[in-house]
């Protein structure tokens, strides 16, 4: 399957972000207490430079990806639909399912992985949602097309067509990728490149699919990827520096115990030190 020139350049841009993220993974070392480090500045700088480089080509990318021959490609349509659904609502479903299954089966790492991924998604979505409303950027499908159309606060009042920046799907995908990769790399260092490649590769496809669907400009995707990566890293790093926080004491407690009649009870903690049995 041939990929158009603009799409190849977009893939290259996202690959650069992935390489930057690989260098930043050392951020999650439990022995480092500081929540913010110079690597955060490096990540922000790399994302800013990539966004500035892509900015003049926003409308060109959009027009090329909406070309009739590109849009007629059923394979691209199928891939875009799959990765879009996997990200939203897929990421939420996967994270919550991992958390619940981990709690029920007493798999602590699965529980923590689901919780950290979900926390990163929530943090990223809150930040991204506020930015969308404040910046009020016009989406690519609005005519006449204008990637320079911004309006302070209008994203809160003028509907979804003016909530383009940043890309929420990209943000969610990269937040989950950062959180999962960081946690897995801490537990299984040899899995870093395998897990990271799969997670960040899928996140990159998510961003590209949003451009293909004419929902976002390239710079929306790049900045969304940067914010998501930052959110995922900070969630994991915070919990490594502050083990068993108040939230963890609520959500990382639970077990299944056998009953005298041969059945079992799920004990789910609501507050620290308390559990409610359910059959």
Q: How far apart are CA 191 and CA 181, in angstroms?
A: 9
Across the range 118-147, mean pLDDT stands at: 93
Answer yes or no: are the C-beta atoms of 21 and 200 closer than 8 Å.
yes
Name the strand (E) or helix (H) holding 276: strand 275-278
Residue 265's pLDDT band (cuts 50, 70, 90): very low
Query: Residue 4 in 3-state DSSP?
Result: coil
* Contacts for 203 with CB less than 8 Å, ≥ 6 apart: 87, 170, 173, 174, 176, 177, 225, 228
* Contacts for 274 with CB less than 8 Å, ≥ 6 apart: none
What pLDDT is recorded for position 56?
Answer: 95
At residue 259, does pLDDT exceed 60?
no
What pLDDT is recorded for position 81?
Answer: 87
What pLDDT is recorded for position 275?
Answer: 37
Residue 146's pLDDT band (cuts 50, 70, 90): very high
Q: pLDDT tens-digit profile of 148-169? A: 999 999 999 988 999 999 999 9
* Contacts for 100 with CB less than 8 Å, ≥ 6 apart: 114
What pLDDT is recorded for position 27?
Answer: 43
Answer yes or no: are the C-beta atoms of 156 and 183 closer than 8 Å.
no
What pLDDT is recorded for position 268?
Answer: 44
Name the residue with higher pLDDT: 193 or 162.
162
CA atoms lying within 13 Å on the CB side of residue 228: 36
At residue 139, does pLDDT exceed 60?
yes
Residue 251's pLDDT band (cuts 50, 70, 90): low
What pLDDT is recorded for position 271?
Answer: 36
At residue 107, does pLDDT exceed 90?
no
Name the residue with higher pLDDT: 160 or 18.
160
Task: Calculate what percentage of the chain has a pLDDT beyond 90.
Answer: 40
Query: Residue 256 in 3-state DSSP?
Result: strand
Tell whether omega for the bond before 12 is within 30 degrees of 0, i.e. cis.
no
CA angle 47, 176, 205 (to 5 degrees): 65
What pLDDT is recorded for position 130?
Answer: 95
Q: Per the confidence metrics, is the pTM higher than 0.95? A: no
| CA-based nearest residue to 177, from 81, 78, 95, 77 | 95
């Amino acid at each position: 399957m041939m990929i158009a020139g603009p799409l190849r350049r977009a893939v290259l841009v996202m690959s650069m972000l992935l390489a930057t993220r690989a260098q930043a993974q050392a951020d999650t070392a439990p022995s480092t207490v500081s929540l913010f480090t110079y690597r955060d500045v490096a990540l922000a700088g790399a994302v800013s430079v990539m966004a500035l480089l892509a900015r003049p080509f926003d409308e060109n990318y959009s027009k090329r990806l909406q070309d009739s021959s590109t849009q007629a490609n059923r394979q691209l349509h199928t891939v875009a639909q799959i990765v879009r659904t996997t990200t939203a609502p897929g990421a939420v479903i996967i994270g919550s399912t991992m958390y619940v299954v981990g709690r029920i089966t007493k798999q602590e790492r699965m529980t923590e992985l689901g919780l950290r991924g979900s926390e990163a998604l929530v943090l990223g979505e809150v930040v991204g949602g506020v930015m969308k409303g404040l910046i009020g950027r016009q989406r690519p499908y609005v005519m006449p097309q204008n990637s320079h159309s911004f309006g302070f606060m209008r994203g809160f009042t003028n509907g979804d067509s003016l909530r383009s920046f940043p890309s929420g799907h990209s943000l969610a995908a990269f937040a989950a990728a950062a959180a999962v990769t960081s946690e897995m790399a801490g537990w299984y260092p040899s899995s870093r490149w395998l897990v990271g490649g799969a997670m960040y590769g899928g996140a990159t496809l998510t961003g590209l699919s949003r451009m293909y669907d004419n929902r976002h400009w390239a710079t929306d995707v790049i900045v969304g990827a940067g914010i998501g990566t930052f959110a995922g890293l900070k969630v994991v790093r915070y919990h490594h520096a502050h083990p068993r926080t108040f939230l963890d004491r609520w959500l990382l407690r639970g077990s299944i115990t056998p009953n005298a009649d041969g059945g079992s009870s799920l004990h789910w903690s609501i507050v620290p030190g308390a559990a409610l049995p359910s059959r």
